[in-house]
Structure formats: C-alpha cells, structure tokens
Chain A
C-alpha cells in the first residue's frame, strides 16, 4: 500500500448539477500534488470531499488505509469520518481562524479539545508549529491584528499541530493581496520540503511548477490530464490545459 489518499469513482451532485464525474486520484506519501483548473471545474469540491466537508454522492475515499464509502450513515460511519479528519489537515481560502482565541489558542484548540492533550504539552506543540511558520512572536495576538498572510500561516500551523498524514490546501492564497501571497507560498514550500504529503488546489502556476511533484488538471468535473509539472507545462496534451496555462502566462509573473 503506497498511497496516502485514494479517491475511487467519486461522484458529486449539487442538486441536478453534476460537479464531479467518476473522479479517480491517488496521492503517494511525501508527494505534493497541485490541482489546477478554472473556477467551477470541481477542484475545490474534490478536496472538500476528501475530508467529508462535502458529502460525496457515490464512490469511496481512502485516507491512510481508512476507507469510507459515499452515502454511508450511522455512528460507525461518523466515527470513521472523524478518524479520517484527524489524518487530514485543511487550510481554507478564507483562513477561518477562530476570532475569539489568541493565535496560540487557535493552534492549541485541536490538540486540547480533540486529542485531550494536557495544556502545557499542547502549548509546546503549538509554539513549535508557530515557529515553523515563522509567527511565534505573534503567539498572544488575536487574529484581527494579523495581516491576511499571517492569518493564513497561523491556519497552516493550526492544521499542522494535529500532526496529519496529509495536508489539504483549498486555494490558500486566493483571498490574499498580491504582496502577501509570497510569504504563504514560502511556508507551504517549507512544509513540502519537510516531507509532508500535500494536495493543493491553487491558481499559482509558479508554485505548482516549482514545488509540485505532479500537477492534476481538472475541467467540467473531470481530471483531464496529469503529469510532472515540467512535462505538463511544456507539452500539455489537452487544449483546455493549454488555454489555462496561456491565460496565466499572460496574466502576470509567477510569485514564489
């Protein structure tokens, strides 16, 4: 067994809208996979199905050898989903820090409330992870005193503090001012270099090219093509991939 994530025949409907069509995807340990695609291509939905923030319509999700089938109900399934969420860390476009808690408390919250860790131990763990994202000096600030880039870095530390097997990033820089994108991408790059398995939905082609081991292209609810970034960006096979790359090439320089 060599994969951390295995998505099999995943379908997702929003009402009559078919947003994911029999999607299959595997992610290997320490692999960094970037998912690119236009808005509405289903890339965020795919990511959100992996930790069941969206309930998939059919198919199975496997995370670190735990397998959950879509449409299951009952306490056993809820426990399974809970266990799978513990193995995945999620970073959101809108950061979603807890505004009523300090930076340190944000990062401690998961270990203390979910893992029942003693507070001093959790504080150590939180400080270590804040240090990883370079924000230990902000430990006692509240989120409203941070810039967008700093918020997102705290959100990354919060996810890392749960010591997940894989990190899911849902357009982590899309809500940021352009000058703040770099610091977040740098932290993500560092986390990748430390050996974290990562699945990243992004519009940052520069990041995908530099950091990803594999780039997955989605369009209309399907994976239309995937390859190592060099090959994919140089010789895309699908017209839609070509169009996507062209648009970003003309759209500005690559940060990171």
Chain B
C-alpha cells in the first residue's frame, strides 16, 4: 500500500487510487503483449536466418533463404501490390452495390424480389469462390462470353462477397427503428424519399466498418484470381518467379510479408475510420 504514497505527498481518494491501479495494470499488459510480439517476430526472423548454432554437442541449422534471389525479385513481386489493391477495390465496390440490392430484396414484401435475393445468396454461398472464379474465366467462353482474367476475377469476387455482405446491409437497414420511418411518413415523405433520405444514410453509416473488414479480407482472397494465370497480382508474381527458379520458399515468404504489411496498414486505417465514425452524431 505504501506504493501509492510514494508518488505525491497529497492523499488521493480511493477512486483515484483504484483508477491509477487499473491504468497501470492495463499499460503493463499492453507493454508485455508488445514485448512478446517482438520476441515472436525475432524468433521467426531467426528461424529463417540461415545460421548454424552449436550448443554443447548439439548443432542447429536454421532455414537458409537465398538472399540473391530475394534482392533480384522483390521489386517484381511488390509490383503486384497495386494490381491486388485494384482488383480488391473494384470487387468491393461491385459487392457493395449487390449486397445493398440483395438486402433491400430480402426486406421486400414482393415475393419475386424476395425470392431473387434469397436465391442469389443461396446459390453463391452454396458454391466455392474458387469455382466461381474459374466459371467466369473458363466456362463463360464456351457460351461466347470472353472475360479478361481481371474482369472475371472482379465479377466473381464481387458476386461472392456481395452475397456474404448482404447480411451486413440487412442488419444495417434493420438497425434503423420503425419510429424513423413513421416520423418520415408523418411529414409526408413517400416510401422512396424515406429510404433515400432517412433509412439509407443511417444504415450505411452502420455498414461502413464491417465493409472495411470485408475489404481487408478481399485483398487476401483476391490471391485466388492468380489461378486464371492472367492477372499479375502479388500471388501470381510470387508463384511465377518461385517456380521458374525453384525458389518457391523465398517467393512465397516475400508475398506473405507483403500481404501481411498491407493488412496491418489497412487494419490501422480501418480502426481510425471506426473511431471517427463512432464519435459522430449518433
């Protein structure tokens, strides 16, 4: 207990003391987590450092990476970042539109519209994303529709994510209370005006943070598009140089690092966005 008296001469209230303790415990926890992260990262780097260590009679070899290959190819692989982000951006834009339409359909009282929405979501969620990408790239040409790898990827990713994201928008639309619609109708708004002016703005604000999460997930699922062989994003570039020179280990590790850093940056942006939205005018 004399721990507390050391800091200042003035007596502190019990609430202040408890608060200070909580703060210190929280800081200590965060510092320890950060430290442990550092150790884990160092360990991982050490694991791939290519060193030979002898402890007593025991000799330990860590994994050796081809530094020359990495130096020669990292700019080529990094060049895929832009393509990855581009595909993800267009796909999420397409998915957002589809998700909103599907959510509106799901809340519709018109049977064919409700059916169309649920049918779409069921069909897409009932088949693999990998299959959907190949379907648009490889199967459609048989019907005379030829899509570029990028376009096929965007269509498939957009359709796929749209189906999953429709739940987000449905929750957003449902989060706007009945009273809001009634207030809008009472001042004479039509159903269309009520939707555009009152319900959608509130629903979209609700839906922005989870949509950000979907975008982050999308940047990684976009790697599947490399399977078409014609989209030069991160994954495609990594497998191309890796296979050609039997350096798959180095190539994939590089791609993994790029994906990871990209995710870390986007997650940081996402939490900023979320913080600024939550302090808004709710």
Contact = CB atoms under 8 A, between A and B. Distances in A.
**Secondary structure of the A side of the interface?**
mixed
B187 A109 contact: yes
Interface stretch (A14-22, A94-102, A124-132): A94-102
B189 A113 contact: yes
Interface string B244-282: 000000000000000000000000000000000000011
A2 to B, nearest CB: 25
Interface stretch (A58-66, A82-90, A176-184, A232-240): A82-90
Given A109-B197, A114-B193, A144-B281, A98 B180 contact: yes
Q: How large is the interface on B (under 10, 10 to 19, 20 to 34, 35 or more residues)?
A: 20 to 34
B186 A51 contact: yes
Contact of B281 (A51, A99, A113, A162): A99
A209 B182 CA distance: 30
**Secondary structure of the B side of the interface?**
helix
B139 interface: no
A113 B202 CA distance: 17
A92 B197 contact: no
Contacts of A5: none
B18 interface: no
Most central of A99, A142, A155 by chain B CB within 10 Å: A99
Interface string B101-116: 0000000000000000
A149 B77 CA distance: 61
Interface residues of A, number: 29
Contacts of A98: 180, 183-184, 198
Contacts of B179: 92, 94, 96
Interface in B182-200: 182-190, 193, 197-198
Contacts of A86: 188
Interface in B71-92: none
Contacts of B190: 82
Given A92-B182, A100-B201, A114 B187 contact: yes
A159 interface: yes
B281 A53 contact: no
A88 B183 CA distance: 12
A62 to B, nearest CB: 18
B205 interface: yes
A110 interface: yes
B187 A96 contact: no
B282 A96 contact: no
Given A53-B186, A82-B188, A162-B188, A113 B282 contact: no
Given A92-B179, A96-B179, A142-B281, A113 B185 contact: no
Given A82-B190, A110-B187, A159-B187, A99 B202 contact: yes
B201 A110 contact: no
Contacts of B205: 100
A96 B183 contact: yes
A86 B189 CA distance: 9
Contacts of A113: 189, 193, 197
Given A53-B185, A96-B183, 14 more contacts: A53-B182, A53-B186, A85-B187, A92-B179, A92-B186, A94-B179, A96-B177, A99-B282, A113-B197, A114-B189, A143-B281, A144-B282, A159-B186, A159-B187
Q: List the 8 closest pairs (A to B, CB-CB), nearest first.
A: A142-B281, A96-B183, A110-B187, A90-B186, A96-B179, A114-B188, A85-B188, A86-B188
Interface of B: 177, 179-180, 182-190, 193, 197-198, 201-202, 205, 281-282
